[in-house]
Amino acid sequence: MNPHGLYTLFHKEVLRFYKVALQTLLAPMVTALLYLLVFSHVLEDHVQVYGGVSYTAFLIPGLVMMSVLQNAFANSSSSLIQSKVSGNVVFMLLSPLSYLEIYLAFVFAAVVRGVVVGLGVALVATLFVEVPVHSVAALLAFAILGSAVLGSMGIIAGIWAEKFDQLAGFQNFVILPLTFLSGVFYSIHSLPAHWQKVSHFNPFFYMIDGFRWGFFGVSDVDPLFSLAVAVAALGGLAVVTLAMLSHGYKLRH
């Protein structure tokens, strides 16, 4: 391991989104809060998912986790596609860093951005309604695992895409549907039986459901199973990402 090089690349990735914090941090917080205001205003008096929990309170964990996932993906994917388009990705490949160190630097930076945005959304949202906290450990575990999973997916998308519109297509047709259809705005028990079964094939559902359990102690599936799914997803994506990096897929040409 080259800890100094790993930290240098990680620091560079953090500075990359910190320098444009208005776009990378504040904008997604505002977007999530707009979702909260609109949906809570329209559905607060009509929907109650868990007994004793208002719809607005139910909505907050889903929006927080959605923000974590989407911004973790955006961080690693945008960094790689920008490096490929500008041609400076070669300097990273020529650096004395192993493929594991490159992977870890991108994922750690994605985790930082995802968690910071999620924390900002949570802090502002709780000004509107009080939300209990059942397990801080579960909140941290699912937030970190979820952002690491999406950070890995972002690396894969950034390597695969050759231009910005391809990356936008990946985000619009893969990431957005998986996040919006993962129980952010509803419990899957409100769906017909067929769509409940389909939802169980969505790994994002388990991350959001487990994160929501950290607030209320209530979930649609066993949180330990959700944790196992998140760990398995991270392990599988890590293997794929490291294989793509080691083979130089769409990077060395």
**pLDDT, tens digit, for every residue of 113-154?**
999 999 999 998 888 888 889 999 999 999 999 999 999 999
Residue 75 inside a domain? The answer is yes
Q: Please give the residue range of the domain that contains residue 225.
A: 3-247
Q: Which residues does 151 contact at the CB level (< 8 Å), separation at least 6?
A: 72, 73, 75, 76, 106, 107, 109, 110, 111, 114
Q: For the whole prediction, is pTM greater than 0.85? A: yes
- Segments in 55-135 forming alpha helices (H): 55-86, 89-94, 99-125
What percent of the chain stands above pLDDT 90? Answer: 64
Number of domains in the chain: 1
Which pLDDT band holds residue 194 (cuts at 50, 70, 90)?
confident
Terminal-residue alpha carbon distance, the chain: 27
Mean pLDDT value of segment 222-237: 96
**Using an 8 Å Cβ cutoff, are 193 and 200 in contact?**
no
- 253 inside domain: no
Could you tell me if residue 86 is inside a domain?
yes
Of 240 and 57, the one with more pLDDT? 240
More reliable by pLDDT, 203 or 180: 203
Q: Considering the domain boundaries, does residue 252 fall inside one?
A: no
The phi and psi torsions of 50 (rounded to 5 degrees) equal -110, 145
pLDDT at 54 over 80: yes
Residue 73 · residue 175 · CB < 8 Å:
yes
In whole angstroms, give the CA distance from residue 187 to residue 194. Answer: 14
Does some domain include residue 47? yes
CA-based torsion, 170, 159, 78, 84: positive or negative: negative
